[in-house]
């Protein structure tokens, strides 16, 4: 289960990284204003370069492109060109260099963050050195304007490097925190697996005990009482026989609820069908079961437990006439859904739901999430409730 959780976390992290271009798009507004301070000969080139960069950022957003070495290099090149066209190292566009190390933080790669910051600093040094000629360097003196400009540029470079160092430290701290969280999740999943295994063993032991002891004794007692049939105690025998049969039926239902043998022998699909048939024995609700895929063996017991709890809630609380139980594959997930046309749940009032006996639903939600999956509860269009539990299922 730990492996599936890591995959899920990686997908979430990649989704966050893919949003970085949207953050850069916020800078397009201030960059556009820099055209107002550009020298007249460079206004048209600046506008052309700005539009090209805006298209590039838009392409990244639409394509949900995650940052890479070449995309970052193009960003640095665009910032450098726009800065040079709007005032060189003193251009407001050059402030965008500080955004790139910040964007590197969410990648959780300290080396990447540091390299991006150093590359931005080198690009800024290039901006400083570009307008200098050999004569300017030879003419430097303490009061020379170029020396003052170089000093300011050097301070900005040092500040950018310091800022890069801070971003790198933050990235390292977040990476360490993420690793610790992953280890905790893996430990929690192992503990959950142990708890589920222990619970199922206890349920199986109890079910076997009821089947092999209590039920068999009641059946044996019924056989012994058959001697009373046709005698003056015939009416008493009939009442006792009816009571014994009802008790045996209730015990068999309890055995099935505790540990359905069919789950071990025929698999989850048949177990769900029998569970649906038992839930609809009284005529309502009418239960339809649609199993369109298989699921990993280690999740069969959990899916069955979820379906049992959901159907029990529907029968006891929903006042539904129809229930649909489905097991389908969606992408890399296997999803169990139970939809009813009953009175529904007040999704905004969790305390009332607990008071009405839905604590088992909350417990199943915790179990599913601890196994690396997700469980959602939503109102069904047209009335009723749909509850869906999804777990990683790998390739079909």
pLDDT of residue 21: 64
Lowest mean pLDDT among 43-47, 63-67, 330-334: 63-67
pLDDT of residue 37: 64
The yes-or-no verdict on residue 149 having pLDDT over 70 is: no
Lowest mean pLDDT among 120-129, 214-223, 259-268, 381-390: 259-268
The yes-or-no verdict on residue 11 having pLDDT over 60 is: no
Contacts of 91 by beta carbon, 8 Å cutoff, 6+ apart? 34, 37, 82, 83, 84
pLDDT of residue 67: 66
77-90 pLDDT, tens per residue? 888 888 888 877 88
In this structure, what token pair is assigned to residue 287? Answer: 């239960």
In this structure, what token pair is assigned to residue 272? Answer: 């769900």
Q: Half-sphere exposure of residue 54, counting CA atoms within 13 Å on the CB side?
A: 13
User: Domain boundaries in the chain?
Assistant: 2-188, 267-396
pLDDT, mean of residues 362-381: 84
269-300 pLDDT, tens per residue? 888 998 888 888 777 789 999 999 888 888 88
3 state DSSP class of 391: strand
In this structure, what token pair is assigned to residue 331? Answer: 């992408």
Per-range mean pLDDT, top range of 163-167, 192-196, 240-244, 273-277: 163-167
pLDDT of residue 3: 44
Which CATH architecture is the domain 267-396 placed in?
Answer: 2-Layer Sandwich (3.30)
- pTM beyond 0.85, yes or no: no
State the average pLDDT for the chain: 79
For the chain, the helix, strand and coil percentages under 3-state DSSP, each to the nearest 5: 70, 10, 20
The yes-or-no verdict on residue 41 having pLDDT over 80 is: no
Is pLDDT larger for residue 258 or for residue 337? 337
């Amino acid at each position: 289960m730990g492996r599936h959780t890591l995959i899920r976390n990686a997908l979430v992290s990649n989704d966050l990284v893919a949003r970085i271009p949207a953050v850069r798009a916020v800078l397009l507004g201030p960059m556009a204003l820099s055209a107002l301070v550009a020298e007249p000969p460079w206004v048209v080139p600046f506008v052309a370069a700005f539009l090209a960069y805006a298209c590039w950022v838009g392409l990244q957003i639409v394509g949900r492109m995650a940052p890479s070495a070449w995309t970052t290099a193009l960003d640095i090149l665009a910032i450098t060109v726009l800065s040079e066209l709007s005032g060189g190292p003193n251009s407001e566009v050059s402030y965008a260099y500080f955004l790139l190390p910040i964007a590197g933080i969410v990648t959780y790669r300290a080396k990447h963050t540091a390299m991006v910051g150093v590359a931005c600093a080198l690009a800024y040094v290039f901006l400083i050195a570009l307008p200098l000629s050999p004569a300017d360097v030879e003419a430097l003196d303490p009061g020379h304007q170029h020396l003052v400009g170089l000093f300011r540029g050097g301070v900005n470079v040092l500040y950018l490097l310091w800022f890069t160092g801070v971003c790198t430290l933050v990235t390292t701290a977040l990476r360490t925190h993420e690793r610790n969280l992953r280890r905790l999740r893996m430990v929690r999943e192992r503990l959950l697996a142990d708890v589920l295994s222990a619970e199922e063993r206890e349920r199986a032991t109890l079910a076997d005990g009821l089947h092999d002891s209590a039920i068999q004794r009641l059946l044996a007692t019924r056989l012994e009482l058959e001697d009373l049939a046709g005698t003056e105690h015939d009416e008493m025998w009939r009442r006792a026989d009816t009571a014994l049969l009802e008790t045996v039926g209730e015990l068999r239902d309890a055995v099935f609820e505790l540990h359905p043998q069919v789950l071990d022998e025929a698999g989850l699909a048949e177990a769900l069908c029998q569970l649906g048939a038992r839930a609809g024995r009284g005529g309502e609700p009418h239960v339809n079961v649609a199993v369109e895929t298989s699921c990993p063996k280690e999740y069969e017991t959990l899916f069955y437990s979820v379906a049992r709890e959901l159907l029990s809630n529907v029968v006891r609380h929903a006042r539904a006439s129809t229930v649909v139980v489905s097991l389908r594959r969606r992408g890399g997930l296997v999803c169990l859904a139970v939809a009813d046309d009953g009175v529904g749940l007040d999704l905004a009032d969790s305390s009332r739901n607990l008071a009405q006996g839905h604590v088992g639903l909350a417990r199943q939600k915790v179990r599913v999430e601890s196994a690396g999956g997700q469980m959602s509860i939503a109102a069904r269009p047209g009335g009723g409730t749909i509850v869906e539990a999804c777990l990683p299922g790998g390739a079909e």
